[in-house]
Structure 1
Amino acid sequence: MNPIETVGIVGLGKMGAAIATALVKKGTKVYGFDPNLKESPVKGVVLVKTLEAIRNESEVIVIAVKPNLVVPVLKEFSKPATFVSIAAGISFSQITENAPQGSLAVRVMPNLPLVAERGAFAYFCEDNAATNVEQLFYGMGTGIRVAKESLMDAVTGLSGSGPAYVLTFLQAMAEGGLQEGLSYEESLSLAMETIEGTLVYFRSLRKEDKNLHPMEVKNWVTSPGGTTIHGLDALERGGFSTAVRDAIHRATERSKELGKG
């Protein structure tokens, strides 16, 4: 797949900087605009002083500002371009209605692991812009194109916010080991490898059997009367599964709320 050679990013906060970092790694020429910065937080990104410069230098423009700033930023552009918004809750129609006439619009929800080429993202756009998205995020992880825009809020609640859930679980595991006498570094190291190793293992199993369910593999580790079943019982008495589902639901609802302004 031919990569996009030049990309402009408006807003170099955590997510904008993450995308910039991943693009620079691929050899893409990246131009950044952020009025709050005097220098780029990402080595290799050329910081420009105007949105006009971003437009003139870039094949694709990523809008990585806070949701309430997306529309005002789009209105500042006078020439059509391909605009990719990563803002939670900002609808496809809001992008198309406020971008210059003739522009292509894309709504994307990525997550931070894309910096390590292990991101999860979803996008919604018309057919004529799909290639741009695939080229932009190529090599950054796993992406899906959703058939209905309404599903973007669920993506936001699941994978967009998901790294925070995983890191919270990681910290809880490390604290559990600490509580039982391990050092924090020992606990954290074991917890990280357990989480990552389990996912790598399960992914390898799914290559052989795409219908394999996580709970089936969980049962392989859970022997009658053993340690694991007692640990799982404690998780469920604490409402673990329900809490995770509720977290995704609440984050999804918040994404919808952000779209309403």
Structure 2
Amino acid sequence: MALDEVAARGLVLLGCGKMGSALLRGWLDRGLPPGAVHVIEPRPSEWLQGTGVALNVPLPEAPAVALVAVKPQMMGEALPAMTSLGGGRTLVVSIAAGTPLRAFEAAFGAGTPVVRAMPNTPAAVGKGITAIIGNAEASEAHLALAESLLSAVGEVVRLESEGQLDAVTGVSGSGPAYVFHLIEALAAAGEAEGLAPELSLRLARTTVAGAGALAQETGTDPAQLRRDVTSPNGTTQAGLGVLMDEQVGLGQLIRRTVRAAAARSEELGRG
């Protein structure tokens, strides 16, 4: 199954909020015909209405893919609109946090291939990363198709087990919020040292974005990048002395942060 088959058989998108819109924009930019996409969205944006997709109309009988992009708390109300697509002819892909594979298997019935995915918000600018895992019915072709669709908004990695999604949620799913807070904290610290708020925020935002780009584009071990910036007895070493404190430093704080997010993901998965 390839993207040309998606164009021929159709794709159903349940929910077109921020993440659904990012995916749809990526697919259209890659040449997927708007008429091949059927969107179920009770509150469509002006942008969505202008894309030319089939919006809130009867669904095709056996589309290639049905992608679930609604919030978990809306799942019970929204999912019945597409459960008729179960049984095996349509690949179901979910980007809903905290909803396990077994829930979709129960909703769509036996024989339905399901791929569960965890993207993150940088998908909005094509810089996201998504982790995927399939159920027993999901073949290599199904996984490759899901990977192709999700790569429209960034990188895609495959997991070995569904249980790993909780850790993924704690690291990359929730991770952008940690980075945004780092920008806030760095800007506030600059203000405390006498910088104007606008200047301090600009310095903090661009420093974090630039450092991330350097790490991403060079592929260099971040520990080596840190060492490259750190002169003996210099200013960076003085700052890192605080951040790298073994008892109360950033490493310990981030471990507790990721554990808290992963634990909450586990709770949501248990229902």
Length-normalised TM-score, structure 1: 0.84
Give runs of aligned pairs for residues 1-261 of structure 1, distance below 5 A: 2=3, 4-5=6-7, 6-28=10-32, 29=34, 30-35=37-42, 37=43, 39=45, 42=48, 43-44=50-51, 46=53, 48-49=55-56, 53-56=58-61, 58-70=63-75, 73-76=78-81, 77-80=83-86, 81-125=90-134, 126-127=138-139, 128-206=141-219, 213-236=221-244, 239-261=249-271
CA displacement at 1:119 relative to structure 2: 0.8
65-74 vs 131-140, which moves further: 65-74
Give the percent of matched residue pairs that are identical in Structure 1 and Structure 2.
33
CA displacement at 1:138 relative to structure 2: 2.8
AA aligned to 1:234 is V
CA distance, structure 2, for counterparts of residue 78 and residue 189 of structure 1: 50
CA displacement at 1:249 relative to structure 2: 1.1
SS at structure 2 position matched to 1:83? strand
Distance 1:253 1:47, change over 3 A: farther
Aligned length: 253
Distance 1:38 1:133, change over 3 A: closer
Distance 1:187 1:24, change over 3 A: farther
113-122 vs 61-70, which moves further: 61-70
CA displacement at 1:259 relative to structure 2: 1.0
CA distance, structure 1, for counterparts of residue 47 and residue 259 of structure 2: 33
Length-normalised TM-score, structure 2: 0.82
CA displacement at 1:55 relative to structure 2: 4.6
Which stretches in structure 2 are left out of the alignment for 5+ residues?
none
Distance 1:79 1:165, change over 3 A: same
Distance 1:187 1:54, change over 3 A: farther
RMSD: 2.5
AA aligned to 2:114 is A
CA displacement at 1:251 relative to structure 2: 0.8
1:48-98 Cα deviation digits (max 9, x unpaired): 336xx2455953221112224435544442233221111122111221221
Distance 1:167 1:129, change over 3 A: same
Query: Is the CA contact (8 Å cut-off) linking 2:23 and 2:152 kept in structure 1?
Result: no
AA aligned to 1:171 is E
CA distance, structure 1, for counterparts of residue 115 and residue 206 of structure 2: 36
Query: Is the CA contact (8 Å cut-off) linking 2:12 and 2:67 kept in structure 1?
Result: yes
SS at structure 1 position matched to 2:265? helix
Query: Is the CA contact (8 Å cut-off) linking 2:130 and 2:156 kept in structure 1?
Result: yes
Query: Is the CA contact (8 Å cut-off) linking 2:19 and 2:123 kept in structure 1?
Result: no
Which stretches in structure 1 are left out of the alignment for 5+ residues?
207-211
AA aligned to 1:79 is L
Distance 1:157 1:259, change over 3 A: same
